[in-house]
Structure formats: C-alpha cells, structure tokens
Structure 1
Amino acid sequence: MTQASLTRPKGDKRARTRAALLAAARELIREQGYERTTLDAVAKRAGMTSGAIYGNFKNREDLFMALTEVHWAPIKPVIRTGSSFAEKMRALSEATIAAIPERQDAAYGRLTGMAYALTHEQIRARVREVTAQNFAAGASWLRAVADEGGLPMPADLLVCVIHALTEGLLFQRFLTPELVPDEAFHAAFAALAGAPPGE
C-alpha cells in the first residue's frame, strides 16, 4: 500500500468510479443516443462490471438523471451586490453564453433524453420532480435578487419563462449559431427586465 492510498479518503474511489461511469455514459449517448445506451455498455466502456453501476446508481434512469445534474445543471450567474434587476438579468445572459461550450457538448444527450422521457412515464415523473425542485430554487433566488421595482411577473412564472427562454436560445444557437449571436441572449434577458438591449 502506498502512502497516497493511505491518505486518500475512502469516498475518493467511489467518486472516481462514479465519474468514470458518467463519462462513459456521456460518450455512449453522444455516439448512439439515450434510448440505445445500456448499462452493460456503460460499464464495459468504463472498464468496469455492471456491479459498479448498481453500486453507484439504482437503475438506468438514476444514472442518466445524475448525468443531467452534472452536465446540465442550473446556470448560476455571478451577481454584483447592489446591482439592478436589469444588471442581474444581464449577468444571467452572460452566464448562459459562458455555458454554451459545455451545453453544446451535452446537447445531443439532452435532446435524446427528453425524447425518451416523453414516452416513458417513470422517467418523465423523475424529470418533473427534478424540474420542480429547480424551479422552486430559481423562484426563491429571483425573489431574493428582486430590487425595489419588483419582478415583471410572479417569481414562479418568471422562472418558467427564463427556463424556456434559455433552453430555446441555447438549442437554436447550437443549430444555427450564425443566426443567434450573443446580442440575442442579451436582448432577450434585457426585455425580461424591461430594459433597453444595451443595458
């Protein structure tokens, strides 16, 4: 046993195993889509047994939901203290643009996973649950960052609008980057804040 293995936390091996499985799943989904990616194939690609999968994930859906949480996590802007709501929306548009490379790499998996969820109620229920949690956290954040002028609509509705706006802009950018410049992101979020696009 080496000194490094003696000092390495026990959870480190589990974290590395989990990361390797997620990386293998991501590669396979990129190559063949969500529907055709099996747990056996993920384990084989990661150089592990299927037992490694079940030691880290309950089932296929659990593995793929974890993949979404890692590669399609909610976008979190850096907010300057004392900034106006328009400035906060500008920070959100900038954070969305900054997320483009990572999201583009995960876009095919995201789309095939969404298509799968449309026809499989168990995974759709799980997506609904995770989305509801994210929406609740987002609405809470919006209430906390609202300035004296308040929000342009109730926070629960605004978070849904921001989510739809973000997803739409991102996927259109992936498909037709020349038609969806950064300015389109900035203008869309400025409009939500009731501000001119340049602000």
Structure 2
Amino acid sequence: MTTQRYHHGNLREALAEAAVQAVREHGPDGLAVRDLARRVGVSHNAAYRHFADRDALVDVVAEHALAGLVVAMQRRLAGVTETEPVARARRRLIEIGVGYVDYAVAEPGLFRLLFTAYPEAPEPDGKAGDPYGLLNAALDDLVDVGYLSPAVRPGAEIGCWSAVHGFSVLCTEGPLRSMPDDERQAALTAMLSSIDLAYGVS
C-alpha cells in the first residue's frame, strides 16, 4: 500500500483524500481509520484526532461523492445547445439522467457509499447544488413550457429518479456491469427517451 506525504497542519485533508481513494479502490468496505493512517504515514492515534470513527470518514467521503455527482449532472446540462424552449427543457431532463449514470459508472465505489452505505443523505452543498433539486427544476421547466401536464407533475421526480438510479445500480452492481459502453449508452438513451415521451402532453 502506497503511503502519501502530507504537509504539517494538513493531516485532516490528507486523510480525507486517502479515504476517497480507498473507497474508489475497494468500495465502502475500504474505509478504516487505521488503514488510512498507514496510507498517509502517521500513527492511528494521530488519525483519530481528526476522525473519531468510521462514521466520520463516511460523512466526508459522502460529501465528496455528492459534489462529484452534482458536477457530472451540471456538466451534461452545460452541454445542452437547443434554444427552442420545449426542446431545451426536454433535453435538459435527459442530460440530467445521463450525468447521473455517467457518475455512477465512473465512480462506482463512491456512488455505492453515497446511496447504500450512508444512512441519511448528506446535506447538499449550497454552492454545488443538489441532484434532487436539479431534477425537480428540470421537471418544473417541462411544466412551464407546456410539455408536462401540471396534473402529472406531483411525484414525477420519484419515477425519474427510480428509473435512472435503478439503471445505474444494474450497471455498477448488477447484470449490466459487463455491458460494453456503446450498448449501455444505447440502452440508457432508449430508457430516457421512453421517460421523455411518457411525460409529453398528448
């Protein structure tokens, strides 16, 4: 196991970075204060002064994972080029789903910790945003442009989130984890298109 150097006064940051890397490599089970102390080359007593227990490590890694998920979703939103209001609102909802799955596939350990190993959702960073808030805003936009009926808007976020999260889990822990990238993207596109069409006003 490679140890990481840290500058005096930066031990907490070094331990946090090591915790994120450990989860990337081994999933949530890779978190242990003593192991992280070895990674950064300090005694476990020094590490415990910054993180009293594993739960404290889970908190800091979950916050990192949440911020990363938001960045992935916002990156996809920033790439939307449609200018016609309905087309733009529809594309934004699709890209939010793509960003969510992109993050899950790229960071399966962090994704798993955030949604299965953390007992309560971490508080969203006010600057980074909130994935659930991004989804709700996109659905509200669909109502505003006349594509989504106000009558079916309540609870629509649960249906969207369930579909995209379920697809992400299938791709990271389930039978779709060995699916080639192009096939996964095609399946995701088909699923998101079906959600889009289902919400269209007839």
Which range, TM-score by smaller chain? 0.5 to 0.7
- Say if 2:59 and 2:122, in contact at 8 Å, map to a contact too: no
Whole-angstrom distance in 2 between the partners of 1:105 and 1:82 = 30
Q: Deviations over 1:142-171 (max 9, x none)?
A: 3245443242531x5222222222222233
1:108 Cα deviation from its structure 2 partner = 2.9
Aligned AA for 2:148?
Answer: L
Could you state the TM-score of these two structures normalised by the residue count of structure 1?
0.60
Q: Does 1:21 align with 2:15?
A: yes
- Report the secondary structure of 1:127's partner residue: coil
* Partner in structure 1 of residue 28 of structure 2: 34
* CA 1:34–1:163: 2 relative to 1, 3 Å: same
Return the structure number with greater helix share. 1
- 1:53-132 aligned within 5 A: 53-54=50-51, 59-73=56-70, 75-76=73-74, 77-78=77-78, 79-80=80-81, 82-94=83-95, 96-97=97-98, 102-111=103-112, 114-117=115-118, 124=119, 126-127=120-121
* CA 1:32–1:157: 2 relative to 1, 3 Å: same
Whole-angstrom distance in 2 between the partners of 1:163 and 1:115 = 15
* CA 1:113–1:135: 2 relative to 1, 3 Å: closer
* CA 1:186–1:33: 2 relative to 1, 3 Å: closer
Structure 2 unaligned blocks of 5 or more: 1-8, 125-129
* Partner in structure 2 of residue 44 of structure 1: 38
- Say if 1:43 and 1:50, in contact at 8 Å, map to a contact too: yes
* CA 1:139–1:112: 2 relative to 1, 3 Å: closer
1:34 Cα deviation from its structure 2 partner = 1.5
Structure 1 unaligned blocks of 5 or more: 1-12, 118-123
